[in-house]
Structure formats: C-alpha cells, structure tokens
Amino acid sequence: MIHFSLLADASTRIERALKYVEISKDAMTRLQAPKASVTVSIPLRLDDGSLQLFKGYRVRYDDTRGPGKGGIRYHPHVSIDEVESLAFWMTFKCALLNLPYGGAKGGITVEAKTLSRSELERLSRGYISAIADFIGPDVDILAPDMYTNATIMGWMMDQYSIIQRRITPSVVTGKPISMGGSQGRETATSVGAFQVINTLLEKFDQSPQKTTVAVQGFGNVGAMLAQLLSQVGYRVVAISDSQGGIYASQGLDIPSIRRYKMSSRNLQAVYCESSVCNIVEHEVITNADLLALDVDVLIPAALENQITADNAQQIQAKYIFEVANGPVTSQADQILEQKGIYVFPDILVNAGGVTVSYFEWVQNRSGLYWTGEEVNQRLKERITVETEKTWSIAQEFGVSMRTAAYIHALRRLGEAMDAKGTGADNKK
Ligand SMILES: NC(=O)C1=CN([C@@H]2O[C@H](COP(=O)(O)OP(=O)(O)OC[C@H]3O[C@@H](n4cnc5c(N)ncnc54)[C@H](O)[C@@H]3O)[C@@H](O)[C@H]2O)C=CC1
Ligand SMILES: O=C(O)CCC(=O)C(=O)O
C-alpha cells in the first residue's frame, strides 16, 4: 500500500498559491515542517483497577504571528501525521482571519466513547500533566475539536491551573461559561460557517429557498449548522453521523432530530449515544451515499480525507463547503474543479471557532466579559471581511477559493516571518 501523508498533501496547497505571492525563500524554508512537537504516553487507571497507556500529541506548527492555537482531538485514528496536518491548517487559518496566533493542534489516540466520565476526566488531566511544559497562555493555547467539548476543556484548564498554582483561564478556550468561557463559543464554528455560506452563495444568486443541502457529521458543528440553515429556508435533505445517515427529499426536521440526538447527553454522559439512523421514518443511507447525493450544497463536517481521487467523480453537488478540516484531498480538488464544482476551503469556512476562541482569550486576559450579541456581531464582521477579501483575490487571479485563501494567508505569514528576521536561528 502506498503511504498517504496528510501533511504532504496539505503542503501542496502552498505550492499552488506560491505563483501569486512574493515570499522569501527563508520564510518558505521555515514552513516546510512543524516548529516543535511532543509525543507523550499517558497512563490511565481504569475504573476496574487496571492500568492502560494512551498516546498523546501536541504539535506547534508555527508561532511567528503569536502563540500556537488549536484544538484537541480524541479519536482512535489520531496520529502524529494527522496532528501535524491539523496544526498546519491552523497556522493558515489564524493568518487568514488575521488572529495574533500561530497554528497548533493536539490529540489522544483513544475511542473516548468507551470510557466512563471519571476515566475521561483522569485521561484529560493526565494529558495536561504530560504536556504542561509545552503549553501556556503566551505559548500555545488549547481548544475543543472532535470528541472534546467544554466539559473536557474545563478539566484541562483546572489541571493546568493546579500545576501552575494560579488560575490560568487563558491557556484553554472553549471552556464552560462558569469557568471563564465565552458566550457564543459553542456555536461559533457553525455561526461562522453559516455566515460564509450565505455570503458566498449570494454571489451565485443561490437563495436559501432553492437550495438543497447534505451535511456529513451531526456533531457540535454539523448539527448546529444544519439547524441554522434550515431556520432560514435551506432544505436540509440528508445528515449523517459515525453510524450512517438519513435522507428525506422533502427536507428533514432538523431541530427535532437535534433534540433527539442531544437527549442521550445528560450530565453523566459526555457524548451523545443515539445515532440519527435510529429515527425510523427516514430512508437510511451510508456516509458514502450521502457524499454522492444530487444536492446543491454538500457540507462535510466530520473527518478529513472524505472526498478523494476514489470518489470525486461521483460527487454531484454544485458547491462544497468544508466545515471539517481537510475533507477534500488535493487530487480530489483537481477532479472537482474539472467537473465545475466549487470548493470553499476549511481554513475559511470553519474559522468561526478559532475566531471566538481568540475573543475568549482576550476576555480572559482583560477580565471584561462580552454579551452573546457582541461576540456574534464581532465574529460576523471579521469573517465577512476575510471572506470578501478572499473572494476578491480569487477573482483577481482567476484561481479557486482555496488557492486564494492560501495566497491571502501566505502574504500575512511571509510578512511576519520577514519582519522577525533570523531571530534565534543558528548563525554562521
Ligand atoms: N469544534 C470546533 O470548534 C471546530 C471543529 N472543526 C472541525 O469540524 C469537524 C467536526 O467537529 P465537531 O463537530 O466539533 O466534532 P464532534 O465530535 O462534536 O462531532 C463529530 C461528528 O462526526 C460524526 N462522525 C465521526 N466519524 C464519522 C464518519 N466516519 N462519517 C460521518 N460522520 C462521522 C460523529 O458521529 C459526530 O456526529 C472536525 O473536522 C473538526 O476538526 C473545525 C473548526 C472548529
Ligand atoms: O478554537 C480553537 O482554538 C481551534 C479550533 C480548531 O481546532 C480548529 O479550528 O480546527
């Protein structure tokens, strides 16, 4: 089997943008590999008394524009290659949104749904104890990603504060509101994506009422986004989770499906136990079927690598909005472009989450907390400005929105790297 490197695939996006950006050779050299990474073993005492070891990672890809920033993923497929790629995307996402951050990401290789709540808490605290020297409010700031949430961020912040012997809320964002979290962070990725989708579809005269949508992944981000879209008249005809999906040509009742999915999440259970496939009145489809549906808009909101050279020919949607990180490979990009399908890139579409994480960090450091309306207003303004700038670059050079986003981000990154100079590099 040929080894597929996510990071190598992610890096090809820079190559396409480079034709249009003047960036020094030094800056490009620095961007070839992550600045720093740690791999740790986390011993976890299970409830039955036995001890099990888990692998954890934290990667800081670049910190020229500010401290590393990025989420923590709990998933059985988490690997160093995946975390490096996610940290790479964070670097470009933060530059694209003009946030004063570099890019980072972390994760633990674990099937978190099999752990009890107290095992999950011990594992999360163990992870922080293992990486405490590598992170900090001015060094590298954590946040939620797949299979992590506000509850877990609260444990992580508390563990870091215990180690530092001072309350340090700004080391983690996406915390519970009662522990210094921001209004609007839980919905921020969906609210940001909703804003980007509306802004861009308007340019194609594609109104909500004549638009059908399929959403892969009905988690924190996918479910809220499906709800926001259906509330303004988009017809969401298909959704899915890790067990499979459901389809209804007349449109799904998203608020009630969301309530059903959330009903299994009480104080004890950190994750939703029920699958959308258990809602019997709809046609059950596979995740592969969902991706190939004849819809206007396809929204991958689960894992990376979902649309590849193997299935890109089968895609029928007109527009793909990448809410997940890295759901479309670079080979698939080319096939989709030839088919006339517009792909709107992850580093723009899902940037609402890190933007409100930045707002949370600012609030933690100033001690002054904003209302939900203020948060959402600032998010809307910032993401619309960067969406419009990216659109203008795409029009100016006649390139895809992905290449335009990388041009925009690379300009900011290159400028910061050149301004910084050689820094602490070894000199001759
Ligand atoms: N949570 C956040 O603030 C942000 C999340 N993202 C990205 O959005 C995506 C989703 O994240 P969350 O909603 O936070 O995660 P989540 O853990 O809340 O939900 C993930 C969803 O994906 C489903 N899923 C898992 N494996 C699947 C598969 N093979 N096929 C179809 N569905 C599958 C799960 O059942 C669940 O419904 C990820 O790619 C994440 O990196 C991006 C930016 C910020
Ligand atoms: O909120 C953050 O800091 C990062 C969220 C994240 O992991 C992502 O945007 O992929």
CA angle, 346 as apex, 193 and 102 as ends, to 5°? 105
- What pLDDT, on the 0 to 100 scale, is given for residue 3? 57
User: What is the rounded (10 degree) CA torsion for 408, 363, 269, 76?
Assistant: 30
Does residue 175 sit within a domain? Answer: yes
Ligand 2 atom with minimal separation from the 357 CA = 1
Q: Among 133, 148, 183, where does a domain finish?
A: 183
Residue 261: active-site member = no
User: Domain range for residue 133?
Assistant: 33-183
Ligand nearest to the CA of 146: 1
- CB distance 85 to 7 below 8 Å: yes
pLDDT of residue 406: 97
Contact 89, 73 (CB under 8 A): no
The backbone torsions φ and ψ at residue 366, rounded to the nearest 5 degrees and listed phi first, read: -90, -25
Of the residues 19, 35, 55, 105, only one is catalytic, namely: 105
In a domain, 19, yes or no: no
Identify whether residues 78 and 52 lie together within a single domain: yes
The bound ligand whose nearest atom lies closest to the alpha carbon of 218 is 1
Residue 289 lies in a domain: yes
Task: Determine, yes or no, domain membership for 230.
Answer: yes
With a 6 Å cutoff on the Cβ, whether 325 touches ligand 1 is yes
Any domain includes 376: no
Cβ contacts of residue 351 below 8 Å, gap of 6+? 93, 96, 97, 192, 383, 386
**Listed residues 183, 204, 235: the one ending a domain:** 183
pLDDT at 423: 57
**Tally of domains within the chain:** 2
Q: Which of 108, 148, 152, 220 to mutate to test the pocket of ligand 1 (most atoms within 8 A of CB)?
A: 220
Please give the structure tokens belonging to residue 175: 């915390």
177 and 60 inside one domain:
yes
Please check whether residues 144 and 43 belong to one and the same domain.
Answer: yes
179 CB-side CA count, 13 A: 21
Strand order in the sheet with 235-241: 283-285, 244-247, 235-241, 212-216, 297-300, 319-321, 342-344
What are 387's two structure tokens?
A: 């969406």
- Residue type (1 letter), 214: A
Q: Which residues line ligand 2 (CB under 6 A)?
A: 69-71, 93, 143, 145, 173-174, 325, 350, 353-354, 357
Report the distance separating Cα 31 and Cα 22, nearest Å. 15
**CB-based contacts of 13: which residues, under 8 Å, 6+ apart?**
330, 402, 403, 406
Ligand 1 atom with the smallest distance to the CA of 222 is: 13
Question: How much is the pLDDT for 6?
Answer: 79
Q: Which of 43, 36, 192 lies closest to 106 in space, CA to CA?
A: 36
CATH number of the domain to which 242 belongs: 3.40.50.720
Domain boundary residue, one of 149, 183, 217 = 183
Do you know the residue count of the chain? 428
Asked if 308 and 194 sit in the same domain, the reply is yes
Long-range CB contact pairs, 358-362, < 8 A, 24+ = 358/69, 358/99, 358/100, 358/101, 358/173, 359/182, 359/184, 359/185, 360/173, 360/174, 360/175, 360/180, 360/181, 360/182, 360/185, 361/137, 361/141, 361/170, 361/173
172 token code pair: 């983690």
The answer to whether residues 210 and 176 belong to one domain is no
- If asked whether residues 130 and 262 sit together in one domain, one would say no
Q: Determine whether the annotation assigns residue 189 to a binding site.
A: yes
Q: Are 80 and 120 in contact (CB under 8 A)?
A: no
Tell me the two tokens of residue 135.
Answer: 């992170």
Tens-level pLDDT at each residue, the chain (428 residues): 345 687 888 888 888 899 999 888 888 888 989 999 999 999 999 999 999 999 999 999 999 999 999 999 999 999 999 999 999 999 999 999 999 999 999 999 999 999 999 999 999 999 999 999 999 999 999 999 999 999 999 999 999 999 999 999 999 999 999 999 999 999 999 999 999 999 999 999 999 999 999 999 999 999 999 999 999 999 999 999 999 999 999 999 999 999 988 876 655 667 877 889 888 788 999 999 999 999 999 999 999 999 999 999 999 999 999 999 999 999 999 999 999 999 999 999 999 999 999 999 999 999 999 999 999 999 999 999 999 999 999 999 999 999 999 999 999 999 999 998 865 554 44
Atom of ligand 1 nearest to the CA of 324: 39
Q: What is the helix (H) or strand (E) element at residue 158, kind and residue range? A: helix 150-164
Domain match, 252 and 318 both: yes
Q: Whose CA is nearest to atom 9 of ligand 1?
A: 324
pTM: 0.96
Residue with CA closest to ligand 1 atom 24: 242
216 and 294 belong to one structural domain? yes
Same domain (yes/no): 235, 130 = no
Same domain, 204 and 83: no
pLDDT of residue 2: 43
Asked, for residue 8, whether it belongs to a domain, the answer is no
So what's the pLDDT on residue 209? Answer: 96
